[in-house]
Amino acid sequence: MNDSILPQPVQQVIDDLGRLPGIGPKTAARLTFHLLRQSKARTQQLSRALLELKEKVIFCENCFNISETPVCHICSSPKRDHSLICVVSEPLDALAIEKTREFKGVYHVLNGEMSPIDGIGPDQLKVKELENRLKDQTIKIKELILATNPTTEGETTALYLAKLAEPYRVKVTRLAHGIPIGGDIEYADEVTLMSALAHRTAFTA
């Protein structure tokens, strides 16, 4: 029996939205009532967009980034440096790096990070697929950039991948972490300061 004072369809949408990451019960309710105020045509447009998201977007069979084709536009581009692989945790991380317009290599998306406490190990990520790319001599990989998050899980993953790459004699680098430009030292947390000190670089006048 449904004890909610809300109509069942409304409560169902709130419950479904509340299962999304970063969406709490209050936000889910606000979003649901926002949708209720929209026209039927607008709601149908959103429904079609969600269906197309599932039907038309797939994962690149090479790097596992999101794509509309079996091989994404980055992996298929002759303008990219295929000997340079940037390893990221999620597709959104690759998107963030792409927005800088500085990286000219290709990506490998792990689709997560190692977290033993949550039962997530290398077998649950696209680690074996990364090793296969290192083994493949068609394109000799010169450098592996580890761009996982500066968290315990991200560092654990980066350390594992660095060890994995050792037999393949590939240069392994890690994105520098530290105090952001425009930030004040007094407001930085201890982990950020420790990372900034550990990754300090030479300074010349």
Q: How far apart are CA 144 and CA 158, in angstroms?
A: 11
| All residues at 6 or more sequence positions from 96 whose CB lies less than 8 Å from its CB, including other chains | none
CATH architecture of 66-174: 3-Layer(aba) Sandwich (3.40)
Confidence of residue 63 (pLDDT cuts 50, 70, 90): very high
Specify the higher pLDDT residue, 38 or 177.
Answer: 38
Q: Which residue has the higher pLDDT, 2 or 6?
A: 6
Percent above pLDDT 70 for the chain:
94
Asked which of 81-85, 96-100, 195-199 is least confident by mean pLDDT, the reply is 195-199
The string of pLDDT tens digits covering residues 127-181 is 999 999 999 878 889 999 999 988 889 989 999 999 999 999 999 999 887 767 6
* Res. 203: pLDDT tops 60: no
pLDDT band at 182 (very low <50, low <70, confident <90, very high): confident
| Sheet with 143-146, edge to edge strand ranges | 105-109, 81-88, 143-146, 171-174
Task: Say what percent of the chain tops pLDDT 90.
Answer: 72
Please report the pLDDT score of residue 67 as a whole number: 96
* CATH 3.40.1360.10 segments of the chain: 66-174
Cα torsion for 51, 54, 56, 62, to the nearest 10°? 170
Which residues belong to CATH 1.10.8.420 in the chain?
Answer: 8-56
What's the mean pLDDT when you consider all of the chain?
A: 90
Arithmetic mean of pLDDT, 96-124: 93
> What confidence category does residue 71 fall into, taking pLDDT thresholds of 50, 70 and 90?
very high
146 Cβ contact list (under 8 Å, min separation 6): 87, 157, 158, 161, 162, 172, 173, 174, 175
pLDDT number for residue 201: 64
Superfamily of domain 8-56: RecR Domain 1 (1.10.8.420)
pLDDT for 1 beyond 50: no
- pTM (2 d.p.): 0.81
- Tell whether the torsion through CA atoms of 6, 10, 15 and 21 is positive or negative: negative
Give the three-class secondary structure for 108.
strand
Asked if pLDDT for residue 204 goes beyond 60, the answer is: no
Q: What is the pLDDT of residue 185?
A: 64
Is residue 114 within 8 A of residue 156, CB to CB? The reply is yes
